Structure 1
């Protein structure tokens, strides 16, 4: 029998009557983590002018957050399994809020970059612990599907809302407000968590695999650093090649270590679960497609269509709205068609929307050229985020919930870093080619962004094919299991 990490008294306050309120608290924290990866983008010009940061240092305002976030996620997930999901969640929220306040108060580049690094490290504790708590709170398959639908919607909305909120806050209150907005939400989460979240079970005494943790953290940081710098120094520069080679060596060392360690940080056996491996593969490709999409779309709207920050943000509302509506319907689709078909169909629709978007001209009208693709992309993303996350945590034991949650976030972050680097390179190469052929700058830029959108569509289509091939769940098997489980429970209920 599988040993549960949920204490016997957890169900009363946290896991039963108030668990939907608990989900709201967890989702709020996750929203901040996802939002903070993109909300700073529009504030960069104003921030750079006041703190006297050049273009190279401005890029590090983003990189300083992404590096510790992506690099520490696996360790954060394992620490949550070891020391308690609620305990690590609260520590992550507290650190994130304090670092956000420090970033808003920054009067130098060094201060700001340090605060951003602490934000990223805190997010690496917060994110896997939060998703692990969701899987603990909602053990029933039907309820878990609904909860993960909300969770996936929050993740998608956070990605889409960054540009909107960044523009509104920067225009109205100045660049520090994009950091200060995290503080009151963090305080609310900290105050509500002890009342709503289940208490942690007694900590296990197994030692942590610190050599493995050091190897994988350094490997992921090296990989993300290599990819993040390609736009500035190129793919064949010594910096990129050295960092990439170091990343490969460290990750290989990590795999060897995990195959031999008595208490591995990441038991490799978890990948025998086809749902986990297929879900992480999907989230890797979804991360690559969406990160490149939102970056290219934001720049296209501002550089080619000459939208200001506020308008560029507002025009992404239909995409976010479609995502929210669809995310709520995904659990029903999963019960009817299975996770495999729901995820595959969502990725195909996402790819179709991206291909449609690539056809937008340099003088595009929002209503005629952008609204339709935005809605298709929003629907596809809503389905993909929810069903991909559900697939990646399906069938995982309670004691590995933090690990599985850390893997999901790691896959998405690494996919985002690789996708952004590759799609940016494609876009710049196409733009330079068109400029060399005598095209005007607006048309050349539009052609470059079109390649970025097509590249993102290719990632989504590859994801659809791989999920369809590797995940062998029958279309309606999950619905049957759920219905059978509910029927058995009803038969066991004593009559009134």
Structure 2
């Protein structure tokens, strides 16, 4: 199928990813206005952001499995519908509780939408087309993050903070119409029961762990880890149709890709969060100046991700860029200038992110059976989100060593990339191994794909 034939689908999945990431960043500028109008306490205001992120990370696995069980188009439309309805509720909220509840619902919608868009790429694109689609999808997220702060400021200043949420309503309606017209309905398939025990323990475990990490609270984090251990036991021993089939981790790309995505979360936090803090707290930049200072790096990421995506050799090259860029940043101090001490290294790191992120997403999701593309996408998104949450907590306590630690993470990613190169043909020959079967009885993954969605 030509790229022209699938271009509407590519626009759809990229727009879906854009909206999900946009909603993370667009609200930040509006927080002071929200606090004044609705009477939030300082502690309560953080839940306008945390409520969304917690639901988004906690329910990603469930959203991914829903895409497999109920169809990619159906799950994508359901996610867009919930996201849009919750955005309307957020824009009309009259109390702090109403707004936080709407933000949690937005996160749930995003947790359905994000893995569904990634699953559509794996389902409908092949070969070089898939590589370009991963690059475009990654770039769309970068554009969403870059545009969010600027658009949030424009809407809050020119209209009202409510429009940072209400703007999602017409966008969501347009994307729903596009999904219904551009994506074919899924063919009939035997309906598997949803793994309710796995859904409960996995979702609760992820949510508790992420909450504990975000709040630096040992109790919830430990509880989350216990629930995740129970989740693994349930999936391995007690259910016939698990939420997360553990056989997927017998696929080299799934296991390695998700592991590296967790580490990659630290790179993302070090780049976008801590460089902004350095500009403001050390160099004395305003929030606007810090945002403008990161714009060249954001543009670099978008361009590189869009036009240089997909191949495994890009992972070690990107890791080397992290080492060089963060090593350079580690030498910056209060006397550094933007042109002399910040612009160069941030461009190098952003170049590496543009190489690594789409490649890792491809590695972690490509070599799976068609029936598991949704949950594989949910796993990859979850790994990235959890890695970012853990990195934020750890690096926040590292003070002046943040960029040196990030350089160390970059070296680990480069080494992992070299190991991935050794299995560069795995997508074509990976065995899906049942945990109950010996290696000799495993069959090769079929290369044929269903034609519908």
Equivalent residue for 1:186, pick from 172, 194, 201: 172
Equivalent residue for 2:299, pick from 313, 321, 326: 321
**How much has 1:390 moved relative to structure 2?**
0.9
Aligned to 1:257: 234
Q: 1:33-44 alignment to 2 at 5 Å? A: 33-44=20-31
> Structure 1 regions of 5+ residues with no counterpart?
1-10, 231-239, 428-447, 482-496
Aligned to 2:422: 472
Equivalent residue for 1:166, pick from 132, 135, 152: 152
Aligned to 1:246: 223
Equivalent-residue separation in structure 2 for 1:158 and 1:353 (angstroms): 24
1:131 to 2:103 alignment: no
Equivalent-residue separation in structure 1 for 2:35 and 2:325 (angstroms): 34
Aligned to 2:278: 300
Deviations 1:74-126 (A, max 9, x none): 11111110011100101101111121222222232111110110010111111
Contact 1:285 1:463 in 2 (8 A): yes
**How much has 1:141 moved relative to structure 2?**
1.1
**How much has 1:272 moved relative to structure 2?**
0.7
Contact 2:322 2:406 in 1 (8 A): no
Deviations 1:19-48 (A, max 9, x none): 112111111111111222233223223322
Equivalent-residue separation in structure 2 for 1:32 and 1:263 (angstroms): 32
1:273 to 2:251 alignment: yes
Equivalent residue for 1:50, pick from 37, 40, 43: 37
- Could you tell me the TM-score, scaled by structure 2's length? 0.88
Query: Structure 2 vs 1, CA of residues 189 and 222 (structure 1 numbering), >3 Å: closer, same or farther?
Result: same
Q: 2:25 is paired with a residue of what secondary structure?
A: coil
Aligned to 2:262: 284
Q: 1:139-218 alignment to 2 at 5 Å? A: 140-218=126-204
Query: Structure 2 vs 1, CA of residues 55 and 304 (structure 1 numbering), >3 Å: closer, same or farther?
Result: farther
Greater shift, 353-362 or 168-177, is seen at 168-177
**How much has 1:223 moved relative to structure 2?**
0.2
Equivalent-residue separation in structure 1 for 2:227 and 2:23 (angstroms): 28
Query: Structure 2 vs 1, CA of residues 48 and 241 (structure 1 numbering), >3 Å: closer, same or farther?
Result: same
> How many pairs are equivalent?
428
- Could you tell me the TM-score, scaled by structure 1's length? 0.81
**How much has 1:394 moved relative to structure 2?**
2.1
Greater shift, 191-200 or 43-52, is seen at 43-52
Contact 1:293 1:452 in 2 (8 A): no
Root-mean-square deviation (Å): 2.3
**How much has 1:143 moved relative to structure 2?**
1.0
Aligned to 1:455: 405
Q: 1:46-445 alignment to 2 at 5 Å? A: 46-138=33-125, 140-230=126-216, 240-260=217-237, 261-331=239-309, 334=311, 339=312, 341-427=313-399
Aligned to 1:235: none
Q: 1:106 is paired with a residue of what secondary structure?
A: coil
Contact 2:55 2:207 in 1 (8 A): yes
Greater shift, 243-252 or 303-312, is seen at 303-312
Greater shift, 414-423 or 356-365, is seen at 356-365
Contact 2:76 2:116 in 1 (8 A): yes
Contact 2:156 2:164 in 1 (8 A): yes
Query: Structure 2 vs 1, CA of residues 359 and 50 (structure 1 numbering), >3 Å: closer, same or farther?
Result: farther
Contact 2:3 2:129 in 1 (8 A): no
Equivalent-residue separation in structure 1 for 2:338 and 2:159 (angstroms): 27
Larger radius of gyration: 1
